[in-house]
Amino acid sequence: MGESKDSEPSDTAGTPVGVVGAGTMGVGVAQCFAAAGHPVVVVDPDPAARASGPERVRAWTRAARLLRGQDSGPVEERVVWAADLDALSGARFVVDCAPERVSLKEEILRTLDRVCPAETVFASCTSAIPIGHLGSVTGRPERVVGTHFMNPAPLKDTVEVATSAATGEQTVRRTLDILAGLGKKAIVVGDGPGFVSNRVLMLTVNEAAAVVDAGTADAATVDRVFQECFGHATGPLRTADLIGLDTVLDTLAVLGRFTGDERFRPTPLLSRLVAEGSVGRKAGRGFHPYPSHRSIVPPRPAGADTHV
């Protein structure tokens, strides 16, 4: 555990890849694979998400070219968009980037288990759901692994890879090779709710929100303390805004369910922000305002069930 694979990967560039979900993370992950030469099929039932997908892939490709000097050609031409999971029948490596809801991910994995070839690896980008739980709903738990890409995926170099007791060594090796082919380093950790990153980060975000709610400090001051005292790049609340406060809320619900720990109960401020649609950068407002971002996220209906 904890090892990082930096050696040369095996030849995985032609592996057909599937991505489930055309949200921010799904599109970013699809861009990473397509830029590395993989043919990619992205599945999302939302026509609007599929329609905007090619332009969002192009935007990430432009950003990678500008910030990293990467020139991977017409990356969007390597990505196909589909509405149904049956389109992944030819995929040999599938990354689940669906919303962080246990029942939804269970349903997706059961369908993928039926649709995909026996050798296909299911790599979940879950924020917090234990990999052993996800693997248990399939007939191939040895081929289920966690690949927790960081946001934004095209610009982050490291992936948290989570393995359950059932995850096979061949699955881990294949996953590390594919990630290395993307130019990503992998840090391998064991299984558990939230793994390492979100078990710690989500509790930090929740407590930071509680500090703001109590009036001890405003959001800018909380983040400044973490930036200037601890060297954190953005602080916990700007990080939460980048992740999306709706995703944070769903992840806290998952952590609460699988740990039974009351500390993961969302603070009232976090719940209020999500209820009013102030879910972070993608909405133009969250703990902080983002005036250059146009709001595209509707308010969450009052009393909406955020538990999974």
Does position 300 have pLDDT exceeding 70, yes or no? no
Q: Looking at domain 17-189, which CATH architecture does it have?
A: 3-Layer(aba) Sandwich (3.40)
| pLDDT confidence of residue 229 | 98
DSSP string, 43-79: E-S-HHHHHHHHHHHHHHHHHHHHHH----SSGGGGE
ω into residue 236 within 30 of 0, thus cis? no
- Mean pLDDT across the stretch 214-230? 98
Q: Model confidence over 119-136: pLDDT tens digits?
A: 999 999 999 999 999 999
Backbone angles phi, psi at 188, to 5 degrees: -90, 125
Does position 5 have pLDDT exceeding 80, yes or no? no
**Residue 195: is it exposed, middle or buried by C-beta count within 10 angstroms (0-12/13-18/19+)?**
buried
- Mean pLDDT across the stretch 33-40? 95
Q: Quick one: how far is CA 198 from the chain centroid?
A: 11
Q: Looking at domain 198-283, which CATH architecture does it have?
A: Orthogonal Bundle (1.10)
Domain with CATH 1.10.1040.10 in the chain: 198-283
Report the percent of the chain where pLDDT is more than 70. 90
Q: Model confidence over 195-207: pLDDT tens digits?
A: 999 999 999 999 9
Domain with CATH 3.40.50.720 in the chain: 17-189
Does position 171 have pLDDT exceeding 80, yes or no? yes
Does position 236 have pLDDT exceeding 80, yes or no? yes
Does position 9 have pLDDT exceeding 60, yes or no? no
DSSP 281: G
Q: How far, in Å, CA of 229 to CA of 33, rounded? A: 37
Q: How far, in Å, CA of 77 to CA of 60, rounded? A: 14
